[in-house]
């Protein structure tokens, strides 16, 4: 029987790190009032990385992919599947995955994007796992890459302080023992209005609202509920109890969601990987960024059970249980 195994991880961040203090100063120049303490208290965020205009999602994704391949001791020529989760593609088409494939120089394998916003990386991981298990691929790159700063209204302090840019990647390879034990994916399209970017390019013009909008209270309530439910669902699929998890790596939206999710699951916060303070909310990049950080910091160790979960606009949500 064929299984997929996690072989390597990598990440990439833009060079410019912006502290809360620097962001507050920049917002003040626009007449937008905020404070460093207000941001940290409400979100847990201390800083974020913001891309300059010449940095794209595909460039960040390519850098993360290179580092993941190096960590996995694989070359680009080994890769026969690239899945990129992004809400901020370089262009309408071709896909960001094809652009990264071009940069890697490994033509021939399948390459496509998935759009599930902040749950996108988990969607991509579950898809790659299924393709490896069925023999459609042997070595997959799954990448979450975002330049979310491009779709933020910098006059709206409720949203602009929450997000950052970055990319994370994993290499999955076929093996004879499980690395990914179970996955679950869900969506509820009736909730589209609580988190969306409703603009589009139409006849050469931007039509609709081009910036992210969010009903914070509704997103919080939904996120905590579905992250609790899907974590239990995946653990049940894998025939383990939640308290057998070594680590929980949720989407890094804000500290309050992370704390509430851990409480719902009766997991000590010490078992939750938290990087929202460093990176802010990087949408589809947040889970692989946190996974890469946790492995390279020596927190996640070989053989440990790690639950990855995400929730995003759509609303979409999902989880994958893996052993590193």
Q: Which residues of the chain register pLDDT less than 50? A: none
pLDDT tens by residue, 217-247: 999 999 999 999 999 999 999 999 999 999 9
Q: What is the pLDDT of residue 271?
A: 98
pTM value surpassing 0.95: yes
> How remote is the C-alpha of 74 from its chain's centroid?
23
> How remote is the C-alpha of 293 from its chain's centroid?
13
3-class SS at 272? strand
Residue 299 CA: distances (Å) to CA of 160, 229, 246, 275, 307: 31, 25, 10, 13, 14
Q: What is the pLDDT of residue 266?
A: 98
| Residue 1 exposed, middle or buried by CB count within 10 Å (0-12, 13-18, 19+) | exposed
Positive or negative torsion for Cα 23, 215, 268, 164: negative
Q: What is the pLDDT of residue 324?
A: 86
* Alpha helices (H) in the chain, listed in sequence order: 20-29, 36-43, 57-72, 96-104, 120-133, 157-160, 216-237, 255-264, 276-279, 286-296
Cis amide linkage into residue 151, ω under 30° from 0: no
pLDDT tens by residue, 54-101: 999 999 999 999 999 999 999 999 999 999 999 999 999 999 999 999
Rounded to the nearest 5°, which phi and psi values hold at 305?
A: -90, 120
Question: Which residues are known catalytic residues?
Answer: 118, 251, 281
């Amino acid at each position: 029987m064929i299984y997929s195994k996690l072989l390597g991880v990598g990440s990439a961040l833009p060079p410019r790190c912006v502290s809360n203090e620097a962001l507050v100063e920049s917002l003040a120049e626009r007449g937008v009032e905020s404070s460093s303490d207000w941001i940290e208290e409400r979100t847990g965020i201390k800083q974020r990385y913001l891309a300059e205009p010449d940095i794209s999602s595909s460039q960040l994704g390519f850098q993360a992919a290179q580092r993941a391949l190096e960590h996995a001791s694989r070359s680009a020529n080994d890769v026969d599947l690239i899945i990129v989760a992004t809400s901020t593609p370089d262009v309408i088409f071709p896909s960001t995955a094809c652009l990264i494939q071009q940069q890697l120089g490994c033509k021939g394998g399948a390459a496509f994007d998935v759009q599930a916003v902040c749950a996108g990386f988990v969607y991509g991981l579950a898809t790659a796992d299924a393709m490896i298990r069925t023999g459609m691929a042997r070595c997959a790159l799954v990448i979450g890459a975002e330049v979310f700063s491009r779709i933020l209204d910098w006059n709206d302090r409720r949203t602009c302080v929450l997000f950052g840019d970055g990319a994370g990647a994993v290499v999955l390879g076929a093996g004879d023992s499980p690395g990914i034990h179970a996955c679950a994916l869900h969506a509820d399209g009736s909730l589209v209005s609580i988190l969306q970017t409703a603009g589009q390019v139409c006849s050469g013009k931007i039509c609709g609202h081009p910036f992210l909008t969010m009903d914070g209270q509704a997103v919080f309530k939904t996120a905590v509920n579905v992250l609790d439910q899907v974590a239990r669902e995946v653990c049940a699929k894998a025939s383990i109890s939640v308290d057998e998890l070594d680590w929980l790596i949720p989407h890094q939206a804000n500290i309050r969601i992370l704390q509430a999710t851990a409480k719902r699951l009766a997991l000590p916060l010490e078992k939750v990987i938290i990087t929202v303070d460093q990176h802010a909310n990087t949408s589809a990049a947040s889970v692989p960024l946190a996974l890469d950080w946790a492995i390279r910091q020596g927190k996640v160790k070989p053989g440990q059970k790690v639950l990855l979960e995400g929730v995003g606009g759509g609303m979409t949500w999902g989880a994958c249980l893996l052993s590193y």
